[in-house]
Structure 1
Amino acid sequence: MNIKVLRGNPTPEELAAALAVVRARAAAAASIPPGAPTPRASWSDPSRIATQRLPQPGPATWSRTYWPG
C-alpha cells in the first residue's frame, strides 16, 4: 500500500494516524462477506423509511411528504 502526500508537510504522527485510519477501514471492508449490504447502503435504502402508507390527498398532505435524501 502506497500513500502519497500531495500537499502540506504532515508530521510523522499525523501520517501514522492517517495510515491507521486507512488500515482500519480496509480491514473492516475485507471482513464484510461478498454480497452483504454495507451499513451505508442499508442506511440510505429508501425502503427502510417507506414502511407506512403514502399520505392521502388533502389540504395538509404537503406537511406529511418529507422524504429525507
Structure 2
Amino acid sequence: MVSYELVEDLETANYDVTVIDPKITNCKKELLHANVQAPLLLAGNRFMHYYIAMGCQITSILHLEKPNEY
C-alpha cells in the first residue's frame, strides 16, 4: 500500500520526513544532558535518523521523476 502523499503530494511527504529529524536530535541531546541511561531509546533514535534519511532520498527522487505541476 502506497501512502496518498507519495502519489499526490510529494512535497508534503518530503516535509513530513524532514521535519521530524530535529526532534529526534533534540530527544537524544536531552537524554544525554539529563544523564538518562536509555540505550534502547538511543538506538531507536539512530534507526529513526536512518529511516528519515531514506525517506528524504526516496521522496526527493520521486519528486524529480514526477514533479508536481503548479
TM-score by length of 2: 0.36
Higher relative contact order (CA 8 A, sep 6+): 2
Structure number, greater radius of gyration: 1
TM-score by length of 1: 0.37
